[in-house]
Each structure stands twice: as C-alpha cells, then as structure tokens.
Amino acid sequence: MGPEAARRAPNMSLSELVRHYRSQAGEFGRPIALSAFPLDHDEIERIFSSYDEDYHISRFFHFSEAGGLKFLINGIAATHVSLDGEIESIL
C-alpha cells in the first residue's frame, strides 16, 4: 500500500461503523449526527468520504444537512447520516 492509499484507508471498518450507527440510531433509516462517531473531525470526513467513493457501499449511505457540526463528505456539506438496513448484506 502506497502512502496515498494508506492516508485514504479507513481506520474504522465498515462493520464497526455500522455497529456504532445502530447503537446511536436504534434502527436503520434514522439520521444521526456525524459528530456522534468516536473520531475527530478530519477522520470523520476522511472515512465517510472514502466509503462514499465506493458505489457498493455508498448506495446505503444517506447524508443530510441539518443543525449541528458540518463535515465535508467528498466536498459536500453534511451534518447527519442514515444507513439502509440492506448494508448488512455486504458486511
């Protein structure tokens, strides 16, 4: 893995991300604040941007902008994310 790939690689696995989402949202489809993830601001932007670049993963992510701390996910402002339950099919 080259330095660029290492810099872009998520340090929270998709399974961990989904598990944390479920613990915060209670059920799939409910938006939670991106700031609820136990990562710093830059890590949240990097991890979600990385997952958002992968079609097989990103189709289950739904970003929205409401009140709260803003993050740039691939250059688009977002404050919240919700996940479709079908994401479990790729874990």
pLDDT, tens digit, for every residue of 16-58?
A: 999 999 999 999 999 999 999 999 999 999 999 999 999 999 9
Q: Residue 77 CA to chain centroid, in angstroms?
A: 13
Report which DSSP code applies to 18. H
pTM for this prediction: 0.87
Confidence of residue 11 (pLDDT cuts 50, 70, 90): confident
pLDDT, tens digit, for every residue of 12-25?
A: 899 999 999 999 99
